[in-house]
Amino acid sequence: MRIGRAAGVTDTGLQRLRNEDAFVCEPPLFAVADGMGGARAGEVAARLAAAALEEPGRAARDSDDLVGLIAEANRRIWERSLADPLTAGMGTTMTVALVAPESGKVTIGHVGDSRAYLLRDGAIEQLTTDHSLVAELVQGGMLTPEEAERHPQRSAITRALGTEPDVDVDAFTIEVVPGDLVLLCSDGLSTMVADERVASVVEDAGRDPARAADALVEAANAQGGVDNVTVVLFEIVEGEPEASEPGGRAASTIEVPSVAAADPGRGGAPGTDGHDEETPADPVSTHGAGKGGRLPALLLVLGVLVLGTLVLYWGISR
């Protein structure tokens, strides 16, 4: 068997100011990253992670290679955050799929609450376990899965890439058969669109990865698009695997933005731990972006109201 069509798409959504997700769609390696941090630090973290995979990813062969790649991505983000105070505390989720078509195996490496799903015969199965506060509460029997879906802290993650010098990576291998589709996504999809709906959207798109990826982003935005949405989809088909290309990629094509001091982003100001400042004191991190723009906007509205009242009072008093 071999890897068939593949597609990756990322969208800012309808409510965020910036897109802090990143993805890699470089067969046989696929990945999704969802960054967190102040200013543009979440964007930096996600793209550093993606770039760290994209460069040497083609040489990865097994689970150990994949864990090594993710550990290297972790190290790069951690070191960058130490060197640049504007990115202190930044981090990202990372869910990676490495396909070995000759053996019919897909190895998944995973940190955070982005997800990998297997779509087979019209059914959908979540392959990864979220490293999130709500997932732990569900496992402990303190929340039902339905309550978790609506929980205000559902974006709070308990494990991330780049926030510590070392990271614990979930890694496992699944067997695939021709006809299978593997979906990687950020929580901007999974918190907006229920799993069964994801499966039916993919079926309705004729199981065409490019069409299905676009339709899934559309479905998330139709539900409100409160977060960045990223979808990577690939199919396993009959046939001989393509010979791996000799040599590697010269350089990453993923641009990592710099963090400008004047950029009024969310959370993560120097001196803080970089976690979302709108999140109550909590041992976990929240990712996602765009909330920070609201406070200045609110102050502006208040200012205009006060000014308007003063002008009105002045007019009346005359």
Residue 227 interacts with Mg ion (CB under 5 A): yes or no: yes
CB 155 within 8 A of CB 38: no
Burial string for 253-269 (b: 16+ CB within 10 Å, else e) reads ebebeebeeeeebbbbb
What is the nearest approach in angstroms of Mg ion to the Cβ of residue 230? 8
Residue 187 interacts with Mg ion (CB under 5 A): yes or no: yes
- When the beta carbons of 28 and 288 are compared against Mg ion, the nearer one is 288
- When the beta carbons of 107 and 186 are compared against Mg ion, the nearer one is 186
Residue 188 interacts with Mg ion (CB under 5 A): yes or no: yes
- When the beta carbons of 20 and 54 are compared against Mg ion, the nearer one is 20
Residue 276 interacts with Mg ion (CB under 5 A): yes or no: no
Stretch that binds Mg ion, among 104-112, 172-180, 223-231, 302-310 (CB under 5 A): 223-231
Residue 54 interacts with Mg ion (CB under 5 A): yes or no: no
Which tokens is 228 given? 């960045």
- When the beta carbons of 22 and 256 are compared against Mg ion, the nearer one is 22
- When the beta carbons of 28 and 267 are compared against Mg ion, the nearer one is 267
What is the nearest approach in angstroms of Mg ion to the Cβ of residue 16? 9
Residue 38 interacts with Mg ion (CB under 5 A): yes or no: no
- When the beta carbons of 60 and 219 are compared against Mg ion, the nearer one is 219
Q: Under rule CB under 5 A, how many of the chain's residues touch Mg ion?
A: 6
- When the beta carbons of 186 and 252 are compared against Mg ion, the nearer one is 186
- When the beta carbons of 74 and 95 are compared against Mg ion, the nearer one is 95
Peptide bond preceding 152: is omega within 30 degrees of 0, i.e. cis? no
Residue 11 interacts with Mg ion (CB under 5 A): yes or no: no
Stretch that binds Mg ion, among 246-254, 255-263, 281-289, 293-301 (CB under 5 A): 281-289
Residue 130 interacts with Mg ion (CB under 5 A): yes or no: no
Binding mask 167-186 for Mg ion (x = CB under 5 A): -------------------x
Residue 34 interacts with Mg ion (CB under 5 A): yes or no: yes
Residue 225 interacts with Mg ion (CB under 5 A): yes or no: no
Q: Which residue has the tokens 């053996």?
A: 103
Residue 290 interacts with Mg ion (CB under 5 A): yes or no: no
Which tokens is 67 given? 């864990």
What is the nearest approach in angstroms of Mg ion to the Cβ of residue 280? 19
Which tokens is 3 given? 């890897």
Bridge partners of 38, per DSSP, are none
- When the beta carbons of 4 and 42 are compared against Mg ion, the nearer one is 42
Residue 4 interacts with Mg ion (CB under 5 A): yes or no: no
What is the nearest approach in angstroms of Mg ion to the Cβ of residue 205? 23
Which tokens is 313 given? 């009072």
Near Mg ion in 144-163, by CB under 5 A: none
Q: Which residues are near Mg ion by CB under 5 A?
A: 34, 186-188, 227, 288
